[in-house]
Amino acid sequence: MSATANIGVVGLAVMGSNLARNLASREGNRVAVYNRSPERTRELVAEHPEAGFVRSESVKDFAASLSKPRTAIIMVKAGAPTDAVIDQLVEVFEPGDIIVDGGNALFTDTIRRERAVRATGINFVGAGISGGEEGALHGPSIMPGGSVEAWQTLGPILKSIAAVAEGEPCVTHVGTDGAGHFVKMIHNGIEYADMQLIAEAYDLIRQGTGKSPAEIAEIFAEWNKGELESYLIEITAEVLRQVDAATGKPLVDVILDQAGAKGTGAWTVQTALDLGVPVSGIAEAVFARSLSSKPEQRAAASGLPGPGATLVADPDSFIEDVRLALFASKIIAYSQGFDEIVAGASEYGWEIDKGEIAKIWRGGCIIRAQFLNRITEAFAADPGLVVLVTAPYFRGIFERAQDSWRRVVAHAASNGIPSPAFSSSLSYYDGLRAKRLPAALVQGQRDFFGAHTYRRIDREGVFHTLWSEGRREVQVDSN
């Protein structure tokens, strides 16, 4: 086998096949393909003669078909299959070659794998790839980690296949080792929050105005022409418009209301808990899916007391309130996601350019949205921005959305309409801007039962009240 391919793909299920076809369609690429079950490889090659694939049926032949430095993208099921394929490639690759994992790996696995592979002299790059099968075929958003050396070879190849937004490819070297998969994880977490917020907006409008799904589809289509323009708003209109062929009902009314999850949202929240970052919007979105998927509990609780929904007096102004509440809550979710990126970068020693991340999410990926440009601008104008929500553009949205946001959350509460993401976003906002929080009382309680100590607002040092010894205050540390 002669080394004729400049890039290879291992794992030819839907994502790998589409990525291989995307690679093959770009000038200058010759793509080697390999899959554990050879039938899949044969099928792909037979179905796409135009791609000029170099087919292998063994890992050894696959390696031999690649020019040096060998570069291969793994697109197999995340977890043990990824480890198995890495082990096979390490056997046949040489120092300087590059192994890319394009699957949805947990970033800590990527850190572990990068360390182990690097010890052999081979480069390992964990690359988050977003956009589903369509994105893989026509241009995804790509978030690669790994070494600068690997990026030099890989960068031009990934740029050639990535989505393009406003003339720029949606790929950047995110940072070293697991940084790419970390940022992809946050992307997915934000995606969960965005979807939940949109679902709550739909529910509030439906219950508050009595409009049909098809009518609400038109509202989302209209919103998509303005500042909320995004892929998720666009597809929401499509889903709401869809009529079930079997029953003639709106499809959304015949889909079982139990949301599934593949775990990346939960990873985002678990990691945020470890890092101490309040990603309440994302967490509520993950929990909302969990709650929906508890049919027995929901059936048992369905008779509990509480108000039912009533129609609003002025549907048009209510719909505008919901639009603004959605925008404000969405900004909170993105801001919280970026906070987690900052905390992760600090914990794991990555230099992540936040403005660049917002840029590469503008195309190809599920959370692509017009307002990501505003995030890039905010970080460009003030690289030391402490928290995204305080940037002037977002402040302006909060000024505009303020009253609407509160009316919508109040309406949801008084009408018994669950709105965990809307409500928690507003609570987070109020918590963040509060001059004083009841955390002071929590510190007092902690000191009472556990002598956990507290600091004072008027003096340096650490203090403890001797609660059972005359309630005298003592200073326990002069720092």
Binding site for ligand NBP (CB under 6 A): 11-16, 35-37, 40, 75-78, 81, 84-85, 103-104, 129, 132-133
* Nearer of residues 20 and 217 to ligand NBP, judged by Cβ: 20
User: Which pair of structure tokens corresponds to residue 33?
Assistant: 């393909």
* Nearer of residues 202 and 231 to ligand NBP, judged by Cβ: 231
Candidates 184, 330, 354, 359; catalytic one = 184
* Nearer of residues 188 and 209 to ligand NBP, judged by Cβ: 188
* Nearer of residues 33 and 401 to ligand NBP, judged by Cβ: 33
* Nearer of residues 209 and 268 to ligand NBP, judged by Cβ: 268
Min. distance of Cβ 72 from ligand NBP in angstroms? 13
Distance CA 136, CA 447 (A): 54
Min. distance of Cβ 124 from ligand NBP in angstroms? 15
Residue 57, SS3 per DSSP: coil
Q: Is 191 a catalytic residue?
A: yes
* Nearer of residues 20 and 326 to ligand NBP, judged by Cβ: 20
* CB 439 within 8 Å of CB 295: no
Residue 281, SS3 per DSSP: helix
CA distances from 23 to 64, 102, 174, 331 (A): 19, 13, 21, 35
Q: Which long-range contacts (CB under 8 A, 24 or more apart) does 154-162 make?
A: 154/71, 154/98, 154/100, 154/125, 157/6, 157/7, 157/23, 157/29, 157/71, 158/127, 160/23, 160/26, 160/27, 160/28, 160/29, 161/19, 161/22, 161/23, 161/26, 162/360, 162/363, 162/364
Candidates 191, 200, 284, 340; catalytic one = 191
Min. distance of Cβ 162 from ligand NBP in angstroms? 14
Min. distance of Cβ 106 from ligand NBP in angstroms? 11
User: Which pair of structure tokens corresponds to residue 117?
Assistant: 């592979």
In the block, tokens 């007092």 appear at 444
Q: DSSP state, 26?
A: S
Min. distance of Cβ 17 from ligand NBP in angstroms? 8
Q: Is 227 a catalytic residue?
A: no
Residue nearest to ligand NBP (CB): 103
Min. distance of Cβ 365 from ligand NBP in angstroms? 10
Q: 145, 84, 141, 78: which is closest to 114 by C-alpha?
A: 145
Residues belonging to the active site: 184, 191
